[in-house]
Structure 1
Amino acid sequence: MTARAGAARVVIIGAGIVGCSLADELTERGWRDVTVLEQGPLHAPGGSTSHAPGLVFRTNGCRTLTGLASYTVEKFSGLTEDGEPCFDARGGLEIATSEAQWAELHRKAGLAASWGIEGELVSARRCAELWPLLDESKVLGGFFTPGDGLARALPASRVQAERAASRGARILDRHTVTGIERADGHVTGVVTDRGTFPADLVVSAAGFWGPVIGAMAGVSVPLLPLAHQYATTSAVPGLDGRRPILRFQDRDLYFREHPADDPATGGFRIGIGSYAHRPLPVDPYAVPAFDDAPVMPSSLPFTHDDFAPSWEDSAWLLPALEDSSVEDGFNGVFSFTPDGMPLLGESRELRGFWLAEAVWVTHSAGAAKAVAEWMTDGRTGMDIHGCELSRFEGAQRSPAYVRARGEQQFAEVYDVIHPLQPAERARPLRVSPWYARQQELGAHFLEAGGWERPHWFEANAASAKGLDLPERDAWSARHWSPIAAAEARATRERVALYDMTPLRRLEVTGPGALEFLQRMTTNQLAKKPGAVTYTLLLDAAGGIRSDLTVARLAADRFQIGVNGPADLDWLTDHAPDDVQVRDITSGTCCIGVWGPLARDLVQPLTGADFSHRGFGYFRAKEAYIGEVPVTAMRLSYVGELGWELYTSADLGLRLWDTLWAAGQPLGVIAGGRSAFNSLRLEKGYRAWGQDMSTEHTPYEAGLGWAVKPDKGDFVGRAALAAHPPEGARRRLVPLTLDDPAAIVLGHEPVYVDGVPAGHVTSAAYGYSVGRAIAYAWLPPAAAEPGTAVHLEYFGEKVPATVRAEPLFDPAMERIRR
């Protein structure tokens, strides 16, 4: 929702670092009727901001979090209080005492290069120079980022609140929120113990009290408060107050310097934060307000027994601590979500009610900027789909799920996490109708969006024997099996069944359905019933919100394949009264039947004509497969002949068994996501959210063919006209690694003439083309086929070459036979 500058009445709940940052960002954009309500005193109101240690390490495996942190550093570096900057760029040092962590730091250095963060791998000797108290003999090396450092959260909060107030905002303390007023599904005001504040927009920036505020609004907030231990030592000789912040992830520890309590004696102490202890969940309803707490509400009593192992590990790394002791400590409350990401965006349950929750100081200003952009402009300047509140399904908001996943996120804060590593807790949650059959076939399941997704099947292991595959390093071999190669080969040579049920499906109906979808998407949908069209959802600036597959099943009925709940929200919000948008995912299921023998499998099971002439590519028809009614769409995400077969969930098992039995003489197999990803990259099929996002236009992403400006007006059309294809600032292009034995997994930096010029999005080994494939964003001058580049993989420069796409079957002969 957007509003004219100054027209919306905004109430922000919480005057911590996020609330103050948001008030500053909104008023900077011209909004004046902004009120910040705080239950405690200003400007140390008692939440996480009041005790946060302020460490800012920007480099993250998630590009979005790196971007949010980078803006926080940029903004706070420009803020001062009494001549003191609100950010101290003393640098960050991460050290490795194990080979696994040393390898991880090499990977992290690659991520930093990908995301534009200055950093360098340094020797153990250099680590000891940067932190003289380190036992150099224990250290293998480190990763030093000179631009990281300490955010002074309380001064930053004060400065931003003062700036917002100077522009007209009200910052009110000692106002405890007791209720949220609403009418006709929209928020109308905030009730406090000192009066009611009318509002058009309300933003909950209440930190770990977020679930309490959400409950008042009837909005579920999937957030778990957990206590995190922080201890401060007595004065330690050898410190000067200018050392980098230090991470010791092998033991889940971090360190920073503090001035000694007694200015007369001078010296410095060491602050030690630990994630090594057991998860300590906190009931947000049990945390008192500031005036009712014996000490800071978010500062709980220190549990010495939990910290004892961490103290031993600290002294092992920093021997000088043996002559010191823990002088003070507390268990500070922080917010964790099921996936470790912030909660940003407008609620589906109550319009006008926004969340800016589960945001740490590291990302505070960046998150506030994103929310302010979203509220005022209707879009954010950077892709934040991984932070959107709508990403969680209903079951993922249950207290049991939030607790299980939140505790796991705490335990894994400093763990080495593989890109494919699945969650361990609260599984299985969502399964396809043929889940039992997949188990019988020895499926190796990973998980996404709560869905169990088979990545390969042990039943296909025999076919993998004798395949000539490159030997994988330990990292790329995790969550991978050579069976994936056998499944890819079987798909190319015979026929395979793929579980496509987790892909979200919507039904759009009504007299105005066609006109509505024409206005919302880029491609021409005015086709006869039975047509299927690939198209895009754009925002007003021409950025790709999502990509869709739209099947026109009748004059006023469409089935749409989308990418997630945000697409449902977007379409629902824009639908006119004569159009209904309904999510049909949970009541339906889908099997992809693909391979050169797909027609041999399906045609004998149906009376409908599945010949090429009778059922062309990108067409749909309703038919029966055996006894099962299906909606069949002739699509192929793997580049082979075949269909997506949809039916109701209650008939899904019957559909699977019918296809499986009929396919035995043809050598049918079940294929997993690992093979699927390889096959789709060979064909150059993009994955939204991974290869492209709102930061990219269709022309940059190589999807200009899905844009039909001549069809009439649609969302984003005017913006695209101002940014024609020839003006693209970057391009998404395929690379192949020159060495057939080389492997990369994604997010690696791409070097052109020795300089970082782009980054990899998706990567997989192409079993049909015999080498690894990586899609990457590159400047136009480097995106021409034949250009030589290098990818950095764990510190090693790997030669690669830009290629024309698609890499496999460029004439599309296999799909159209």
Structure 2
Amino acid sequence: MGQLPSKARAVIIGGGVIGCSVAYHLTKLGWSDVVLLERKQLTSGTTWHAAGLIAQLRATQNMTRLAKYSQELYGALEGETGVATGFKRVGSITAALTPARREEILRQAAMARAFGVEVEEITPEEVCAKYPHVETEGMAGAVYLPKDGQGDPANIALALAKGARARGAVVAERVKATGVARAGRRITAVDWVGEDGSTGQIEAEHVINCAGMWGREMGRMLGSNVPLQACEHFYIVTEAVPGLRELPVLRIPDEYAYYKEDAGKILLGAFEPVAKPWALDGIPENFEFDQLPEDFDHFEPILEMAVKRLPLLAEAGIHTFFNGPESFTPDDAYHLGQAPEMDNVWVAAGFNSIGIQSAGGAGMALAQWMEDGQRPFDLGDVDIARMQPFQGNKTYLAERSTETLGLLYADHFPYRQKATARGIRRSPLHAHLLEHGAVMGEFAGWERANWFADPGQPREYRYAWGRQNWFDNQAAEHAAIRAGVGLYDMSSFGKIRVEGPEAEAFMNHVCSAQMAVPVGKIVYTQFLNPRGGIEADVTVTRLSETAYLVVTPAATRLADETWLRRHTGDRMVVITDVTAGEAVLALMGPKAREVLQAVSPNDFSNETHPFGMAREIEIGMGLARAHRVSYVGELGWELYVSAEMAGHVFEALMEAGAAFGVKLCGLHAMDSCRIEKGFRHFGHDITCEDHVLEAGLGFAVKTDKPDFIGRDAVLRKKEEGLKLRMLQFRLTDPEPLLYHAEPILREGAIVGYLTSGNYGHHLGGAIGLGYVPCAGESPADLLASTYEIDVAGRRIKAEASLKPMYDPSGARTKS
């Protein structure tokens, strides 16, 4: 080991493929003083035994963009560094054995077309032509992606490391990061010790946690939460098969298996339904290029299916039975980005068995984020800020990880709920809702009533790609909100109190709307970034001259709070998460006023309580704060009740509401109502790379006030004109269902994809939202076109609208 520098702009901890990629990309951006510390030897954790599958298609456009970037990078690395990466485009086949899986892969193929990924639907006979050794019995269909590939994982990492070294990075093996010096929200230095006993400290401007399956413990050392858990991952490699030619990668997810030809042998890997978490008491200190004990009993059911699917396995003989650990996150998406708890700690870890195909793009995206101080594009799927603080709990991770590995190859049904590690975060109304038939889903750890079962109806999800068992329940709840009155629990939504003598000035700086409003006023607004993209979509209520309440989606509470904290500067404000302090009951529908009047002595007329105002009220024998606002497009109030009174208020509303036919509703109905009204859903319809004007939210932006983040970008866009517009679509055929990512066709050509979808029970068809290019076009030009939506390969005619198809004037909310 040579002499390590005493200072560095960036210290990367972990020398697997992602650490090497971050070093490579930072140096490519001109960061020459980069140090990578690897406790043992490069690739010795997980990278060395990875299968090296490199697919292009991911679940979202940007994740696909990153995977495609990885492929292009690996193809060019050998020429740059002289290190053979083994990258070759062999193609991949995914075969379905059930009608449900066939629907899934056809929807994925449609999504691939929207994302610009080459894909073909092929028959079982064509599968056999491309993969002659496979038994096609039971195959319901398949898709082929000709540009998918495979590579040599260790050499890819070593090539990246060599490229980084060539541009000045120091890559130090057998040097362990052992501690840090910290000042507030910053790490100032990293302590290290070498295997030879040498020690030192490196002052650091930035520290990047690329520690792989050690990422959780390293996160703790760096003052941050990185929820991941190592699991055992099994594969076998056959003896050499005479005459075996180069083959595409073959995936049979219904049998939990994938097959890769490698140097005349077959590698069979598995993602079994119930996984085995590993090293719950910590990873052994001497772990290096190690494998775990064989567990043939665990692997045998998969091997039995595989031998029938690929009979040559029975003849070839097993050369290697391999069991190696890989890290998995609670939601099967990797962790990338700036740690919410710290201002100079970054994370790239937890790659859920797709680290090789992800590392090139993830390293590029993180390096660009560090260079610019903002995300280069929407990375919400993988942003570490999505993780809730409790998700770092060891017991939780151990239980959840038994499921997440298997979910990679499970049916990816819409609305599929996690089955493990449930019941952690509960609304104060949880037991009341269960008593009335609630069927719970889980979101950011919260148990939420998604729909209500009828008496005698099983309280469970029965998953399908078509109408699921709760479709009629959602329709009835939807109808109650539209025609009568519905009551649903919104307690899981984040509540952030911003308070202090400079609260108004601060809120005007971070919000695009005007915050100098009377006490009690509710303002719908966005937090914008300097590009005019949407970082948060919130309502803000002025509680007093010096206090505001910011209400956020449940999943983005931490991210939104972090955004606020990072922009306080020296302003005198205090930011507090008060989510758990209040339950929230939404009473919505044309009869909402009558129900409230029956349970409260207060006046709920338009004159006394207009739309967009909040005030304290009596309710039953308790108190609440009534916010007149709606996410479903109807007359209604969100009732904020201190947690200890929530049960009483719920009972009072149900008792008084009985005379008006009040119906308990779930969040599925809330979503179907909001999409009819064209309301945007953060994380899907609006993200950090969607300009607020192109999202159709210009009405919420007040450029006549100075100095708010994103103001210049809004003014520029007004001058330049819009390049995209968000449209609402309704399928004219009432049968097909929309979820998200279905391609939008304009005059027969793909022009975009749906950002969200649900069924419009009032409008009588599936509804979707999505952006359509419009440079130089008027709204009339856009709407004069013919539109179709591609649903699993079927083109369905769709009506398009710029205005909400339901109640376009907004009269119902103000009635």
TM-score, normalising length: structure 1: 0.93
1:347 shift after superposition: 2.6
Structure 1 residues not aligned, in runs of 5+: 1-6, 260-267, 463-471
Q: Secondary structure at the match of 2:645?
A: helix
Kept in 2, the 8 Å contact 1:109–1:119? The answer is: yes
1:232 to 223, 237, 245: 237
Partner amino acid for 2:509?
R
Q: Secondary structure at the match of 1:385?
A: coil
Once the two structures are superposed, residues 113-140 of structure 1 have per-residue CA deviations (whole angstroms, 9 ceiling, x without a partner) of 2322111111112111211111244534
**Quick check: 15-24 or 800-809, which moved more?**
800-809
1:86 shift after superposition: 5.3
Q: Secondary structure at the match of 1:386?
A: coil
Kept in 2, the 8 Å contact 1:119–1:146? The answer is: yes
Distance 1:286 1:326, change over 3 A: farther
**Quick check: 509-518 or 273-282, which moved more?**
273-282
1:568 to 561, 569, 572: 561
Once the two structures are superposed, residues 197-242 of structure 1 have per-residue CA deviations (whole angstroms, 9 ceiling, x without a partner) of 22121111010111232233343321100111121101113422x3
Q: Given the alignment of the two structures, is residue 335 of structure 1 paired with residue 340 of structure 2, yes or no?
A: no
Distance 1:320 1:425 in 2: 37
Partner amino acid for 2:516?
A
| Residue in structure 1 matched with residue 74 of structure 2 by the alignment | 76
| Residue in structure 1 matched with residue 654 of structure 2 by the alignment | 660
Once the two structures are superposed, residues 234-264 of structure 1 have per-residue CA deviations (whole angstroms, 9 ceiling, x without a partner) of 1113422x311111111111111122xxxxx
Distance 1:284 1:62, change over 3 A: farther
Kept in 2, the 8 Å contact 1:127–1:141? The answer is: no
| Residue in structure 1 matched with residue 704 of structure 2 by the alignment | 710
Q: Secondary structure at the match of 1:710?
A: coil
| Residue in structure 1 matched with residue 247 of structure 2 by the alignment | 243
Q: Secondary structure at the match of 2:671?
A: helix
- 1:572-587 to structure 2, matched below 5 A, reads 572-575=565-568, 576-587=570-581
| Residue in structure 2 matched with residue 27 of structure 1 by the alignment | 27
Distance 1:461 1:725, change over 3 A: farther
Partner amino acid for 1:323?
E
| Residue in structure 2 matched with residue 317 of structure 1 by the alignment | 309
Once the two structures are superposed, residues 680-719 of structure 1 have per-residue CA deviations (whole angstroms, 9 ceiling, x without a partner) of 1111111110111012101111111111111112111122
| Residue in structure 2 matched with residue 125 of structure 1 by the alignment | 125
1:347 to 336, 339, 346: 339
| Residue in structure 2 matched with residue 477 of structure 1 by the alignment | 467
Equivalent residue pairs, number = 787
Kept in 2, the 8 Å contact 1:258–1:271? The answer is: yes
Q: Given the alignment of the two structures, is residue 394 of structure 1 paired with residue 394 of structure 2, yes or no?
A: no
Once the two structures are superposed, residues 323-350 of structure 1 have per-residue CA deviations (whole angstroms, 9 ceiling, x without a partner) of 1111112112111011011112233344
Q: Given the alignment of the two structures, is residue 736 of structure 1 paired with residue 723 of structure 2, yes or no?
A: no
| Residue in structure 2 matched with residue 534 of structure 1 by the alignment | 524
| Residue in structure 2 matched with residue 466 of structure 1 by the alignment | none
| Residue in structure 2 matched with residue 263 of structure 1 by the alignment | none
Q: Given the alignment of the two structures, is residue 810 of structure 1 paired with residue 800 of structure 2, yes or no?
A: no
1:624 shift after superposition: 1.9
Structure 2 residues not aligned, in runs of 5+: 1-6, 195-199
**Quick check: 788-797 or 725-734, which moved more?**
725-734
| Residue in structure 1 matched with residue 272 of structure 2 by the alignment | 276
| Residue in structure 1 matched with residue 110 of structure 2 by the alignment | 110
Distance 1:532 1:277, change over 3 A: closer
Once the two structures are superposed, residues 130-151 of structure 1 have per-residue CA deviations (whole angstroms, 9 ceiling, x without a partner) of 1111124453432111111113
| Residue in structure 2 matched with residue 3 of structure 1 by the alignment | none
Kept in 2, the 8 Å contact 1:208–1:284? The answer is: no
Partner amino acid for 1:79?
L
Kept in 2, the 8 Å contact 1:480–1:674? The answer is: no
- 1:137-148 to structure 2, matched below 5 A, reads 137-148=137-148
Q: Given the alignment of the two structures, is residue 762 of structure 1 paired with residue 752 of structure 2, yes or no?
A: no
Distance 2:610 2:402 in 1: 50
Kept in 1, the 8 Å contact 2:452–2:664? The answer is: yes
Distance 1:508 1:322, change over 3 A: same
Partner amino acid for 1:431?
R
| Residue in structure 2 matched with residue 468 of structure 1 by the alignment | none
1:84 shift after superposition: 4.3
Once the two structures are superposed, residues 536-571 of structure 1 have per-residue CA deviations (whole angstroms, 9 ceiling, x without a partner) of 111122111111111112111111112321000010
1:631 to 606, 611, 625: 625
Partner amino acid for 1:527?
V
| Residue in structure 2 matched with residue 752 of structure 1 by the alignment | 746
Distance 1:348 1:752, change over 3 A: closer
**Quick check: 429-438 or 138-147, which moved more?**
138-147
- 1:608-647 to structure 2, matched below 5 A, reads 608-647=602-641
- 1:66-215 to structure 2, matched below 5 A, reads 66-80=64-78, 81-82=81-82, 84=84, 87-194=87-194, 195-215=200-220
**Quick check: 622-631 or 17-26, which moved more?**
622-631
Partner amino acid for 2:250?
L
Distance 1:300 1:387 in 2: 29
Kept in 2, the 8 Å contact 1:460–1:486? The answer is: no
- 1:290-329 to structure 2, matched below 5 A, reads 292-293=286-287, 296-297=289-290, 299-329=291-321
Partner amino acid for 1:770?
G
Q: Given the alignment of the two structures, is residue 517 of structure 1 paired with residue 507 of structure 2, yes or no?
A: yes
| Residue in structure 1 matched with residue 259 of structure 2 by the alignment | 255
1:479 shift after superposition: 5.8
Q: Secondary structure at the match of 1:482?
A: helix
Q: Given the alignment of the two structures, is residue 371 of structure 1 paired with residue 366 of structure 2, yes or no?
A: yes
Distance 2:372 2:470 in 1: 43
Kindly report the root-mean-square deviation, in angstroms, between the aligned alpha carbons of the 2 structures: 2.2
Kept in 2, the 8 Å contact 1:786–1:802? The answer is: no
Kept in 2, the 8 Å contact 1:542–1:719? The answer is: yes
1:277 shift after superposition: 6.9
**Quick check: 180-189 or 492-501, which moved more?**
180-189
Kept in 2, the 8 Å contact 1:383–1:693? The answer is: yes
Partner amino acid for 1:653?
G
Partner amino acid for 1:572?
R
1:392 shift after superposition: 2.2
Distance 1:211 1:770 in 2: 48
2:439 to 444, 447, 461: 444
Q: Secondary structure at the match of 2:465?
A: helix
| Residue in structure 2 matched with residue 416 of structure 1 by the alignment | 411
| Residue in structure 1 matched with residue 589 of structure 2 by the alignment | 595
1:187 shift after superposition: 0.8
| Residue in structure 1 matched with residue 18 of structure 2 by the alignment | 18
| Residue in structure 2 matched with residue 699 of structure 1 by the alignment | 693
Kept in 2, the 8 Å contact 1:700–1:725? The answer is: no
Aligned-pair identity (%):
34
1:102 shift after superposition: 2.3
Distance 1:572 1:647 in 2: 26
Distance 1:496 1:541 in 2: 39
Partner amino acid for 2:244?
L
1:754 shift after superposition: 2.9
1:756 shift after superposition: 2.0
Distance 1:138 1:739 in 2: 31
Distance 2:181 2:279 in 1: 24
| Residue in structure 2 matched with residue 496 of structure 1 by the alignment | 486
Kept in 1, the 8 Å contact 2:103–2:465? The answer is: no
Kept in 2, the 8 Å contact 1:601–1:666? The answer is: yes
Distance 2:279 2:545 in 1: 52
1:584 shift after superposition: 0.7
Q: Secondary structure at the match of 2:496?
A: strand
Distance 2:488 2:552 in 1: 18
Kept in 1, the 8 Å contact 2:726–2:802? The answer is: no
| Residue in structure 2 matched with residue 39 of structure 1 by the alignment | 39
TM-score, normalising length: structure 2: 0.93
1:285 shift after superposition: 6.2
Distance 2:757 2:334 in 1: 26
Partner amino acid for 1:339?
D
Distance 1:460 1:486, change over 3 A: farther
1:446 shift after superposition: 1.5
Kept in 2, the 8 Å contact 1:572–1:581? The answer is: yes
Q: After TM superposition, where is structure 1 displaced by more than 6 Å over at least 4 residues in a row? A: none
Distance 1:100 1:804 in 2: 34
